[in-house]
Every structure is written in structure tokens, then in C-alpha cells.
Amino acid sequence: MFDDIITKSKVKSPWLYHLNTGSCNGCDIELISILTPRYDVERFGIKLTGTPRQADIVVVTGPLTSQSKDRALKVLSQVPDPKVVVSLGSCPMSGNVFKGSYSIEAPLDRFVDVDVSVAGCPPKPEAIIDGIIKAIEILKDKRG
């Protein structure tokens, strides 16, 4: 019974952690916009936390610059299980306009398992919410 409550709560209260790996700030602004009164994802229980230790969903933006790669991987390993990694924007998917640069390490899925990718430069808030809802479905089946 207790397990049922915990499983249900997992779906109802996913906390986001926002990890910037050298993004141009476009995606970051769009991510914050989903918390504003217009889109209000707090109605799903979603909350932005300041520390990876409390996160359930990690949202990664940016093309993973060489400077930030090690640090980003370290932060991702600090997130307790069960966790879901969402890559936001075209940058972590392919490198986007920075592709071929000597200083970026994208795509992100060379280093970690990415569960959901939201494409766009930057993606629309509706697309981000859709991606996060998909991430919550994946989170449901993960075990701690």
C-alpha cells in the first residue's frame, strides 16, 4: 500500500532542475516562462529546485561546451534516482548552429542516457510542457 502511495506521489510531484551547459539563454527563458501564470505548470505539482539533490527531472540546455562537459556530467551524477533527463532545444540534440565548433561536445546522448528530447531553437512553451509530461510518464516506471 505504501509503495502505491509513493508511486502515485512520484507522478504528482516532479521537481525540475535546470542545467545550463553553455546555452545562448533562449531556451532558459522559455523554460522559465512555463512557470509563469500564463502556463502555470505548478498545477501539475512541478516546481523548480535550486539543487540537483532534490531533482526528479533534469532539464539540460545548451550545446555542452568543452568547459562545462565535466561539470555537467558531475551534476547529473549527483541527482538521486529515480531521475529523468530531458534535453531542451536543438543544441544538446545536435549542436545546432554551433555544430563543428572546436569547443563543443554535443550531442549530449554520447555521455548520458537522454529520456526525452525537445527540439526547437528555442522550443515553444507548449512543446516544453509536452516534453515534461512525457518525462513524467517515463519517471513513473523508473525505480529508485
Partner 1 sequence: MEILLGLFYVLVFPGLLFCFAIGLLLLGIDRKIVARMQKRIGPPIIQPFYDFFKLMGKERIVPNKAAKKIYIIAPVIGLISIITIALFIPIDYFKTFFNNYADLVVIVYLLTIPSLAIIIGGASSGSPFGGVGASREVVLMLGYELPLVITLLAVGMKIGRLTNTAATFSLINIVDYQIKNGPAFLQWSLIPAALAFLMVIPCEIGSTPFDIADAETEICEGTMVEYGGILFGVYKLTQGIKIFVMISLFIAMFMSGIIPAVSSSIFVNSLVSIVWHMALVIVILFIAVSLLRATTARIRIEQAFKFYWTYPTALSLLSLVLVWAGL
Which contiguous run of DSSP H or E holds residue 75?
helix 66-78
Say which entry of ligand SF4, partner 1, none residue 96 contacts (CB below 5 to 8 A, set by partner kind).
ligand SF4
- What is the Cα–Cα distance from 39 to 16, expressed in whole angstroms? 15
**Cβ(98)–Cβ(63) below 8 Å:** yes
Q: Which residues sit opposite 85 in a β-bridge? A: 58
Residue 27 binds which of partner 1, ligand SF4, none (CB < 5-8 A, kind-dependent): ligand SF4
Binding-residue total with partner 1 (CB under 8 A): 26
Judged by CB under 6 A, the stretch of 21-29, 47-55, 74-82, 107-115 that binds ligand SF4 is 21-29
Q: How far is the CB of 11 from ligand SF4 (least distance, A)?
A: 28
DSSP element (H, E) containing 138: helix 125-141
**Maximum C-alpha span of the chain:** 53
Cα angle vertex 47, ends 21, 9, to 5°?
Answer: 120
Draw the binding track, 84-123, toward partner 1 (x: CB under 8 A; -: no contact).
Answer: ----------------------------------------
| 133 interacts with partner 1 by CB under 8 A | no
> Which residues, numbered 80-139, are part of the site for ligand SF4 (CB under 6 A)?
89-91, 96, 121-122
Cell representation of residue 37: 501564470
Give yes or no for residue 50 binding partner 1 (CB under 8 A).
yes
16 in helix, strand or coil?
strand
Please give the residue ranges that form the binding site for partner 1 (CB under 8 A). 5-10, 12-13, 37, 40, 42-45, 48-51, 53-54, 56, 78, 80-82, 144
